[in-house]
Structure 1
Amino acid sequence: MPASDDLATRAPTGPHGAAPTVSVIVPVHNTRRYLDRSLGSVFAQTLDQRRIEVIAVDDGSTDGSAEWLAEQARRHANLTVLRQEASGGAGRPRNAGLDRATGDYVFFLDSDDRLDTEALYWLTRTAQKNGSDVVYGRIAGADGRAAPVDLRTTSEEVSVFDSPVYWSLAAYKLFRRSFVERHRLRFVEGRLLAEDLPFGITALLRAEVVSVFADRTCYYLHGREDNSNATRQDIDWCEYLDYIGTVLERVAAEVPPGPDRDKLMVRHFHGEILMPFGASYLGRDGAGRRAMAAAARPLVAQYLTDRVRAALPPGLRLRAHCLRAGLDEELTAVVRADTETRPGPPHLDDDGRVYAGYPYFRDPRREVPDACYDLTDRVVLRQRLDHPHWVGGVLHLRGTATLPPLGGDGAELLLRRGSTTHRVPARYEDGAWRAAVDPATAADGGPLPDGTWGFKLALTAYGTGGAGGPALRREAWLVPEDGDGGPDFAPRIAGRGPAGPAVAALFLSRPHGHLHLDLGRDKVSRPLGADLRGTADATRSGRATLTAHLTLPGCPVDAELRLLLVDGARTVALRTTAVREAGDHYTVRSLLRGGPPGTWRVVLRVTAGPLRRELPVRPAAAPPGAADPLTLTVPPSGTRARLRRALRRFRR
């Protein structure tokens, strides 16, 4: 039955009669309890509502959704509501929305999910800036539902074959509408699951520009309290696998055999071909299981190349092997190990290779090759770094680390600069580690040299034979959980024993956020005194008092802080008093009784042994990041009036 719009008036065009920027299409079927959240997130967008066309298509709801939508259409001039009979999936309502859309772009929002309030602004802005046909926003899971892919890096243009975007083929992204119409893209109708695969696959493979906006989460995938999401429904899996075969024929028609097609097929083996072989498979009797295996076997035979098999994790690799070889008993045992029990402990060979503990490993009565169990290349260091902090002049680091499924037995911290590596012992117990980096001893017992040092954690796991047997070691860069910031990231003075103090500053590399230490006595890219500000006040006798405040972590008690007046080649050192306050804050003052006439820059000199830094003082009222120095004009005469006039100019 064709859609109708008898429940609401047509949404108006954009400002000044122009077409809206984006049409948001929302298929609705018995999701009344979620509509306030879902549609509400569209009405709360920071993008002007006059630039948003909302098309909600009620697909035969019987729970009050239709009445709620009708009421909202009376309140929101940009909302159009269409009604149609229940169609058995989101495909037909989405297509009905597409047929009515007038926006430059279309976005598909499921009626149980929600948008971030700034999502449409950033997504459309990204598309306009880059000429994108498709724009992915960062996705997050909520209420027990996981995101299909973790998009962390904003990219103007990505390749389908060398980025994670193909792992999310669902509809919830932004499409250029003219691109959709040019390629006549529509959703499969009447399907509850995977109806969006052909649409998403064709769009990604034919798009000229695919962009990613990941600076903030744009789309929230919500699980339902009653587990009624489409992916959790009872499915005729044999029919489903037959349908997936037609979908993969489309992929094969777009991409010739070879490495690129194999990269796409890895995703389809994960997401569609082998996905049913879990609890749904075990819930069937022997005949039902054999029927599912028979439906999947042609797909495995046609698309499981050596490259695809090697890219699968052992659990899926074993499923694929059992399907291809007709090993029904072994397939059931593997699925049960993942679904009802747990795989056994991994096996670590003398050559360092690791094998998953699934059933029948090296069973002489079974013909399952070792390669199906091999997970050596998949054992990666999973670690978390808590916020690093300084105690005195020592940097303390701690966190958690493990090598799933092996665990871990010993850890050490690595300081890397170019080809140079220094090792710092770390204590490791029950998955937690801690280490202390003292710049005076971090270089194998000696002072750490100047330079930029990156931090890595190395974790070693042993087999059942303990430290005397085979071992596996992995390394990973340290990334703080709470990001860059806080007082421990501020530049500080760190002692290095006989090498003398140096300026030390923690920072995170871009774009990956790896923890680094910038250390140097003579040159450092992160100078001290970023918060150094000063003022001047006149006394009744006509004298001037210079006062400056700054934070100076790690400053030795015998360090000298002195205010200077600098003018070209001339420098006047002032008698200065320095008071240390709580939190490494310092107040320095100088009383100016006169001096050589001229306009002077005010500078603070910090001297700690061989370390000397001259830090420019900024005016107290200067905004953050301002580069103008604090200046003082000393008049030729020492009269009070002229000095006061100079101070008025100085205070600005």
Structure 2
Amino acid sequence: MTVSAPDLTVIIPAKNGAQYLGTLFRSLERQFRDGERAQIIFVNDGSTDHTERVLEDHAGVFDDFTVIRNERSVGLASGRNMGLREARGEYVVFLDGDDWLPDGQIRTVLDAARRLDVDFVRCDHTRVEGTKRELRRAPMAIRDRALPPRAGILPAYDSTMVDYPFAWAGIFHRRLLDNALLYFPEGFMTAEDRSWIWNLHLHAESFAVVDSPGVCYRRGVSGSLTQILDVRQLDFIRAFEGIFDLVAEDTFADLYWPKATRNWLAILEHQAKRFASSPADIRAKFASGARRASARVPFDVLREEFRRSRPDRQALVHRYLPQPGLLVKDIVK
């Protein structure tokens, strides 16, 4: 007898998140209607805390619960890819182990994806820092309507959907998986979703943004890579090299280069401030990688977006760009 595919696959990679997993699993239990079938894939990414004990406590709650165990951590990107290779659901949802779902979150985005018949649906989220809660809206005013994904890229000078890369803020039809559009850049420890979201908006056929309760996303978690400054944070450079490759190969590259370049200069400024106090060897890797990535941008575009930048940004990033003397001379004029 042929068994039909689950309605949904939920992929959760996590390392040493035991203290948060109970909250996540309890919130996940409340997401599904009677008769809906969910495949839960948990990637235990080299945990050394009591994650295994928490998994044992909750495994019986879900009818279809798979644990993938990594002896050594492979990171979020590769962990998600491991889950994707085992996914059987019609739709896919990503979660991080330290987040949780308000009631109705999955039902809302799943209903919208089916009703609108789109490749993927994006939604707002709630940023959680301690006891503070702040709603962060996905940067798209048009809601609850099927749209071409490229509508989420421009304009260059406003925040758009490619500036909102969070993989857990939405739901994805498995046709994106079958077309290899859901996989993340293998081996990335950070910034894995930046080129990923550009790839979706350039190559998927349809998407929508809807109002929903929104994933509760923890910030400031001790041990999170967002709180640690080391060479793993340099993956943002490789991420933008991936974005630049996608743009360069696109038929409408001239249209998208200003957006990609402006994003790069903004992130470069932010990271230059962060790495300013890092050890000399890491600063050297940052500088060489940043110059390498900057050189991939057509110089006339880079020159124009640099000219449009704030003076404080110009002062900070020019040393990481090709022909910095020429760029500064342009500003002096």
Aligned to 2:231: 236
**CA distance in structure 2 between the partners assigned to 1:146 and 1:74 by the alignment:** 34
Equivalent position to 1:280, from 262, 275, 278: 275
Q: Structure 1: 5+ residue runs without aligned partners? A: 1-15, 328-365, 372-652
Evaluate the alpha carbon distance shift between residue 237 and residue 177 of structure 1 in structure 2; reply closer, same or farther with a 3 A threshold. closer
Equivalent position to 1:35, from 16, 21, 24: 21
Alignment of 1:273-422 (within 5 A): 273-285=268-280, 289=283, 291-303=285-297, 305-309=302-306, 312-324=309-321, 326=324, 369=331
| AA of the residue aligned to 1:71 | D
Evaluate the alpha carbon distance shift between residue 222 and residue 321 of structure 1 in structure 2; reply closer, same or farther with a 3 A threshold. same
Aligned to 2:203: 206
Equivalent position to 2:153, from 134, 155, 161: 161
Aligned to 1:143: 129
Evaluate the alpha carbon distance shift between residue 323 and residue 98 of structure 1 in structure 2; reply closer, same or farther with a 3 A threshold. closer
Q: What secondary structure is seen at the aligned counterpart in 2 of 1:90?
A: helix
Contact persistence 2:240–2:264 (CA under 8 A) = no
Alignment of 1:396-545 (within 5 A): none
Contact persistence 1:146–1:221 (CA under 8 A) = no
Q: What is the identity percentage for the equivalent residue pairs of Structure 1 and Structure 2?
A: 23
Contact persistence 1:19–1:102 (CA under 8 A) = yes
Alignment of 1:77-92 (within 5 A): 77-92=63-78
Q: What secondary structure is seen at the aligned counterpart in 1 of 2:272?
A: coil
**1:139-161 deviations in whole A, cap 9, x for unaligned?**
22111698876446424134122
Aligned to 2:105: 119
Evaluate the alpha carbon distance shift between residue 189 and residue 258 of structure 1 in structure 2; reply closer, same or farther with a 3 A threshold. closer
**1:504-551 deviations in whole A, cap 9, x for unaligned?**
xxxxxxxxxxxxxxxxxxxxxxxxxxxxxxxxxxxxxxxxxxxxxxxx
Evaluate the alpha carbon distance shift between residue 86 and residue 254 of structure 1 in structure 2; reply closer, same or farther with a 3 A threshold. farther
Q: Say what the alpha-carbon RMSD is for the aligned residues.
A: 3.1
Bigger drift between 107-116 and 290-299 goes to 290-299
| AA of the residue aligned to 1:277 | A
Deviation, structure 1 residue 48: 4.1
Evaluate the alpha carbon distance shift between residue 281 and residue 43 of structure 1 in structure 2; reply closer, same or farther with a 3 A threshold. same
**1:353-407 deviations in whole A, cap 9, x for unaligned?**
xxxxxxxxxxxxx858269xxxxxxxxxxxxxxxxxxxxxxxxxxxxxxxxxxxx
Count of equivalent residues: 314
Q: Which runs of 4+ in 1 moved over 6 A?
A: 144-148
**CA distance in structure 1 between the partners assigned to 2:135 and 2:228 by the alignment:** 18
Q: What secondary structure is seen at the aligned counterpart in 1 of 2:270?
A: coil
**1:487-509 deviations in whole A, cap 9, x for unaligned?**
xxxxxxxxxxxxxxxxxxxxxxx
Aligned to 1:254: 250
TM-score (norm. length: structure 1): 0.44
| AA of the residue aligned to 2:162 | Y
Q: Structure 2: 5+ residue runs without aligned partners? A: none
Evaluate the alpha carbon distance shift between residue 69 and residue 255 of structure 1 in structure 2; reply closer, same or farther with a 3 A threshold. farther
Contact persistence 2:146–2:208 (CA under 8 A) = yes
Deviation, structure 1 residue 137: 1.2
Aligned to 2:31: 45
**CA distance in structure 1 between the partners assigned to 2:109 and 2:19 by the alignment:** 27
Aligned to 1:218: 214
Q: What secondary structure is seen at the aligned counterpart in 1 of 2:113?
A: helix
Larger radius of gyration: 1
**CA distance in structure 2 between the partners assigned to 1:36 and 1:238 by the alignment:** 29
Aligned to 1:438: none
Aligned to 1:93: 79
Evaluate the alpha carbon distance shift between residue 136 and residue 370 of structure 1 in structure 2; reply closer, same or farther with a 3 A threshold. farther
Evaluate the alpha carbon distance shift between residue 60 and residue 48 of structure 1 in structure 2; reply closer, same or farther with a 3 A threshold. farther
**CA distance in structure 2 between the partners assigned to 1:147 and 1:282 by the alignment:** 32
Deviation, structure 1 residue 65: 0.6
**1:154-208 deviations in whole A, cap 9, x for unaligned?**
2413412237211122321311112221235422333321223343322221111
Aligned to 1:338: none
Aligned to 1:63: 49
**CA distance in structure 1 between the partners assigned to 2:35 and 2:127 by the alignment:** 26
TM-score (norm. length: structure 2): 0.81
Bigger drift between 32-41 and 274-283 goes to 274-283
**CA distance in structure 2 between the partners assigned to 1:100 and 1:291 by the alignment:** 36
Evaluate the alpha carbon distance shift between residue 67 and residue 251 of structure 1 in structure 2; reply closer, same or farther with a 3 A threshold. farther
**CA distance in structure 1 between the partners assigned to 2:17 and 2:303 by the alignment:** 44
Evaluate the alpha carbon distance shift between residue 184 and residue 230 of structure 1 in structure 2; reply closer, same or farther with a 3 A threshold. same
Aligned to 2:12: 26
Aligned to 1:194: 191
Which protein has greater RCO, CA pairs closer than 8 Å, 6+ apart?
Answer: 2
Evaluate the alpha carbon distance shift between residue 33 and residue 220 of structure 1 in structure 2; reply closer, same or farther with a 3 A threshold. same
Higher strand share: 1
**CA distance in structure 2 between the partners assigned to 1:57 and 1:244 by the alignment:** 23
Q: What secondary structure is seen at the aligned counterpart in 1 of 2:208?
A: strand
Alignment of 1:594-605 (within 5 A): none
